[in-house]
Amino acid sequence: MTEILQVQNLVKRYGALAATNNLSMTLRTGELHGVIGPNGAGKTTFIHQLAGEIIPDQGHIFLDGVDITRSPPNERALNGIGRSYQITSVFKDFSVLENVMLAVQAREGSSFRFWSVARDDKKLYEPAHEALRQVQLSHAANRRAGALGYGEMRQLEIAMTLAMHPRVLLLDEPMAGMSQQESARLVDLLSRLKGEYSIVLVEHDMDAVFALADRITVLLYGAAIVCDTPQAIQANQEVKSAYLGDDDDEF
């Protein structure tokens, strides 16, 4: 498989603390790559660097062979890297469909100042509806976004990201705060998106990670101590000793 994202020897220090410690990783085209580790392992700092929100002190990030290490987040988004919360503000008084139309408009480089005109632009409807279809939220297209439940709100955020036409999705604990039923729906959604998109998933829900991931990278003190298949990770004694404990519940 080809590699769409290459991370080489990233280092990010805060004083004496190495939040990212010589970390290397690859993301293959169409792969869902899980990133796991305990609190303080450097997972969020790592994904911030992939998104361009934090610039590493050393190392390189390549997207399709192009060095994007110092590219800003908006440039990365237009080049195909998206986050589930890339657009941080869901307009709660707008409809679900209108929120996704805003993301389509952003992809085309239009200014939100012209939203009063753009919301009537039929060219925005088709891609917005397609994004909602992908996350199985079409039934809520005309509902006020603020009326959505928490799980549906996360689906809307993913739909807004998909409307930006990403090739790489960065998902930082998308199941946090979800009920068991909501998490199950999101696992089903991600299982359908994998293959169509290349996904980096940071998540504490180990059942979800092991069910979804093609490969898993385990972080410890900012460093990647192992990268392997879910089956191999579960059987890895170093991982068990560091995180899983005797009852496999420490994650």
Arithmetic mean of pLDDT, 123-148? 94
Contact 199, 168 (CB under 8 A): yes
Q: Are residues 129 and 117 in the same domain?
A: yes
Arithmetic mean of pLDDT, 150-160? 92
Contact 4, 173 (CB under 8 A): no
Domain, as residue range, for 23: 1-85+166-251
> What CATH number should be reported for the domain holding residue 26?
3.40.50.300
Mean pLDDT, the chain, rounded, equals: 89
Q: Are residues 79 and 106 in the same domain?
A: no
What is the structure's pLDDT at 87? 46
Contact 10, 46 (CB under 8 A): yes
Domains of the chain: total: 2
Q: How many CB atoms lie within 10 A of CB 81?
A: 28
What is the structure's pLDDT at 123? 82
**Cβ neighbours of residue 85 under 8 Å, at least 6 residues apart?**
157, 172
What is the structure's pLDDT at 251? 45
Higher pLDDT residue, 132 or 118?
A: 132
Q: Are residues 60 and 76 in the same domain?
A: yes
Last residue of a domain, one of 113, 132, 163: 163
Arithmetic mean of pLDDT, 192-219? 95
What is the structure's pLDDT at 107? 81
Q: Are residues 203 and 251 in the same domain?
A: yes
Q: Are residues 91 and 81 in the same domain?
A: no
Q: Are residues 60 and 131 in the same domain?
A: no
Higher pLDDT residue, 73 or 244?
A: 73
Q: Are residues 198 and 75 in the same domain?
A: yes
Last residue of a domain, one of 163, 180, 201: 163
Q: Are residues 61 and 140 in the same domain?
A: no
Handedness of CA 231, 20, 177, 92 (dihedral sign): negative
Q: Are residues 185 and 213 in the same domain?
A: yes
What is the structure's pLDDT at 84? 75
Arithmetic mean of pLDDT, 181-205? 94
Arithmetic mean of pLDDT, 202-215? 94
SS (H, E, C) the chain: CCEEEEEEEEEEEECCEEEEEEEEEEEECCCEEEEECCCCCCHHHHHHHHHCCCCCCEEEEEECCEECCCCCHHHHHHHCEEECCCCCCCCCCCEHHHHHHHHHHHHCCCCHHHHHHHCCCHHHHHHHHHHHHHCCCHHHCCCEHHHCCHHHHHHHHHHHHHCCCCCEEEEECCCCCCCHHHHHHHHHHHHHHECCEEEEEECCCHHHHHHHCCEEEEEECCEEEEEECHHHHHHCHHHHHHHHCCCCCCC
Dist. CA 52–CA 34, nearest whole Å: 19
Last residue of a domain, one of 95, 128, 163: 163
**34-79 pLDDT, tens digit each:** 999 988 899 999 999 999 999 999 999 999 999 999 999 989 998 9
Q: Are residues 156 and 173 in the same domain?
A: no
Q: Are residues 144 and 211 in the same domain?
A: no
Arithmetic mean of pLDDT, 159-176? 92
Q: Are residues 112 and 76 in the same domain?
A: no
**Cβ neighbours of residue 52 under 8 Å, at least 6 residues apart?**
68, 71, 72, 73, 75, 76, 81
